[in-house]
Amino acid sequence: AQKVTQAQTEISVVEKEDVTLDCVYETRDTTYYLFWYKQPPSGELVFLIRRNSFDEQNEISGRYSWNFQKSTSSFNFTITASQVVDSAVYFCALSDQNSGYSTLTFGKGTMLLVSP
Amino acid sequence: DTEVTQTPKHLVMGMTNKKSLKCEQHMGHRAMYWYKQKAKKPPELMFVYSYEKLSINESVPSRFSPECPNSSLLNLHLHALQPEDSALYLCASSQGVQNNQPQHFGDGTRLSIL
């Protein structure tokens, strides 16, 4: 069975600090995809990134960066110079094939609070 | 602004009412999803539609009835709900149901059952 663990329930930082959100996954599939979503208080889940199991290159997008390490089954997310607008719940998710259809297995989420 | 539009944003209903949640997307996506999310929990998958056909029903009680009238629209009909059904209901869409397709979510409908 697939499983995603986000061990950090809540993280509080002060603006401009760097913060890393951890994500560890379990799967028996050899081909899988990992995602990060952001959920601000408004409710919408915003897609941030997708990573496939064959591509271990790290990725940077502005203040966001992702570190995928297959050897440790981790897909961590770092926000550099955090801002108040980064305050949200962040979900890591794993996509597998369920009876031929892809379904998302979400972690429990990490609430990030960035104070001024 | 989200490309997946859900209406209404908030809904309060009694246990004997019948109401419907609506979801619309114009991205040409052929897969659509309903999720239920309780406070401080991740979204839980309810239904998956692929090419307007119901593909996955995650053992959802029959008081929730999905409908996909066309490739852009997804409805969730509600009848005789229970207080524990109060939650945020999220609609999502993706190009297809392959596992590499990211799902794009709407803002959700916050449902309260009295």
Instruction: Say if B110 is an interface residue toward chain A (CB within 8 Å).
Output: yes
> Is a pLDDT exceeding 80 seen at residue A101?
no
HSE at residue B83, side-chain half, CA atoms within 13 A, is 1
Own/partner contacts of A39-43, CB < 8 Å, gap of 24 or more, are A39/A88, A39/A89, A39/A90, A39/A91, A39/A109, A40/A87, A40/A88, A41/A88, A42/B107, A43/B88, A43/B90, A43/B107, A43/B108, A43/B110
Residues of chain B with pLDDT under 70: 1-2
Size of interface A-B (CB pairs under 8 A): 61
* Tokens encoding B49: 């539609």
Residue among A31, A99, A106 minimizing CB distance to B43: A106
CB contact under 8 A, B56 and A104: no
Instruction: Say if A20 is an interface residue toward chain B (CB within 8 Å).
Output: no
Q: Between B87 and A101, whose confidence is greater? A: B87
What confidence tens digit (pLDDT) does each residue in A25-84 have?
999 888 889 999 999 998 899 999 999 888 888 888 899 999 999 999 999 999 999 999
Instruction: Say if B104 is an interface residue toward chain A (CB within 8 Å).
Output: yes
pLDDT of residue A57: 81
DSSP state for residue B67 in the 8-state scheme: E
Residue among A33, A45, A101 minimizing CB distance to B56: A101
pLDDT of residue B99: 74
pLDDT of residue B2: 63
Instruction: Sort out which chain B residues have CB atoms less than 8 A from A97's CB and list them.
Output: 99
Chain B: nearest CA to A96, how far in angstroms?
6
> Is a pLDDT exceeding 70 seen at residue A98?
no
CA gap A81, A13 in Å, rounded? 10
Closest by CA position to B90, among listed B49, B37, B48: B37
pLDDT of residue B1: 52
What confidence tens digit (pLDDT) does each residue in B15-43 have?
888 999 999 999 999 999 999 999 999 99
pLDDT of residue A54: 87
